[in-house]
Structure 1
Amino acid sequence: MLKKIILSVIGLALILTSLEAGTSKRKGTAGAEELRIPVGSRGVALGGGVVAEANGVDALFWNPAGASFTNKSAEAMFSHVTWIADIKVNYLSAIANFGGVGVFGVSLKSLDFGEIPITTVDEPEGTGEKFSPTFLTAAVSYSRRMTDRIYVGANLKLITERILRESATGFAVDIGLQYRLESGLRFGAVMKNVGGNMKFDGPDLEWGVVIPGSEPGSPVRSLRVPLQEFELPAAFELGFAYNLKLGESSLTLAGSFQNNNFTLDEYKGGLEYSFKNMLFLRVGYSYVNETDYVFNSPSFGVGFNIPLGGTLEASVEYTYRKVKFFDNNQFLTIRFAM
């Protein structure tokens, strides 16, 4: 019965996303694009195609269902990258494993734009003042192992954006599924960033105007300019992975297809080599059928697991990804587990 429900949900999602599929004409018309910025060195190194492979605390962004695929009681992760145009992205997340009850998690993503000079019509060279936008995404997560093969999970996100005194707030959900076989074959599906529209509002949108045709000396009226609502960059992703044991080593192949409602479809994939679960070498590629797409590029990564005694361990991961037109991305991730 559970399998039939899961297959029905996937089928419905495929129909809905095909009806709302993005095209090049819709590119750039979504808001809250920070939701699409990837976090975590491992997933990026594998081209982002880890919807079926992501596990533990690393899975909260890629597919929350994978958070319950862990034998640790708790995990925490910090990730940093200098994104395009010198935008810095910081991500902090943690999960706690309560056994049969499930795995609970929290995460916070923030964007640092640096200081931007304030300019006006009267002072186009700048007033001498500066501001920095605040973009935050906070999430609470839940994941559970339903059977020996089926894992499900969800994120509930609070999205806040603030520019000077104008702000917008919204909510979104991610719903994910993973199906893992003992043979090492895995399948995954996730719907991401599904939520209502957002709209900026604030006191700087008020203008003092004199209504045309008014009598001389009429008072100045306050007029607030309403802004257009914007939709979230929802997506649906299907993926597979296969883990092959090679003695003390293992080889993992992962790939996925992502349908977006505001841009073209994406194809992602990667390969990971693990030696004694301590050294990891990774390579990946993401592709969109568009000549000037910024992230049609390869990625390369390395990771190290470091035992700290008892059940405590740490990992340090680094990923380098080539980017068109901007400086290349360098991801650094530190994870602790116990």
Structure 2
Amino acid sequence: MRTPRPLPEQLPPAFRVGEARRLGVGRSRLDGADLERPFTGVRMQRQTRLDPTLTPRAEALREEAIRRANAYAARMRPTEFFSHTTAALLWGLPLPLLVDELVDASICRPERASRGAGVRGRQIDPRLVRVTTRNSLRVTTPASTWACLGTVLSPYDLVAVGDAIVCVRASSGGNGSPAPPPLATLNQLRAAIDAGRRPGVGALRDAFGRIRTGSWSRLETWVRLILIDAGLPEPVLNFDAYDTAGRFLGCIDLAYPDLKIAIEYEGDHHWMTAEQFQHDIDRLNRLVEAGWRIVRITKGHVFTNPTEVVRRVSVARAQRETAR
């Protein structure tokens, strides 16, 4: 295979066709196999997709969203900005893996939304959004992004995104480095809801009352909501457990401290390295030795068999209450 002719150094990884032509790039070179056509009038240097066997799907989805957003930025109007699911992925917020690859490009009324392959153009009331920059891209603020998702996400995922935005990490089980600040506050989420009439406002109001600052993952949010909606007490999120001598045992995903019940989600990250696997085994053993009852659940339980989550926790609670 012939090596493609180098492109002018002035061209970024994603560029407008017109810009390339002005620099002397011919049409045949723009049709080269090493270039993708993500949007009308845009070319992007082809890259190898992340290996799905080595990269978590959520991370691969976010990396592709960033790549496509940077490609679309080559043709964006100065007043356009990314919103909805594209903005959520740019902020690193947790979304279901079923979201499509269309780029959400918005503009404020009365300007017309963009159209074309690969883009979902949206026209938004200017009172309903706040726009900032992230990695040189114009994007809705985290609070505005959450408010845009009221008609897009399921009730549980709308809460999960809200949880991620206001998340405050405060466990003593970390590595000593300072925790990042929350992307927004509960007051900012409330202000986004109250900014004016918007689609999905009912879902946003329902979700707002269920958002917590202590949830560290989408799965923790789902488990919490599954248990509450089944009539069980709300568990404590990311509970730091200590033994009677005051020694730190570990941070528990969800807990009923009064009954010493720990609910632990077994995710793929637990098996990524031998060190992580050993750490988790040691942590759980310390908890068991200190009298904690461990309820272990998986992604399959949460998303396909939530009644099993409820059953396991209910059995653990009943046994502990009987033993009191």
How high is the TM-score relative to the length of structure 1?
0.22
Which of the pair has more CA radius of gyration?
Answer: 2
Going by fraction, where is strand more abundant, 1 or 2?
1
Going by fraction, where is helix more abundant, 1 or 2?
2
Higher relative contact order (CA 8 A, sep 6+): 1
How high is the TM-score relative to the length of structure 2?
0.23
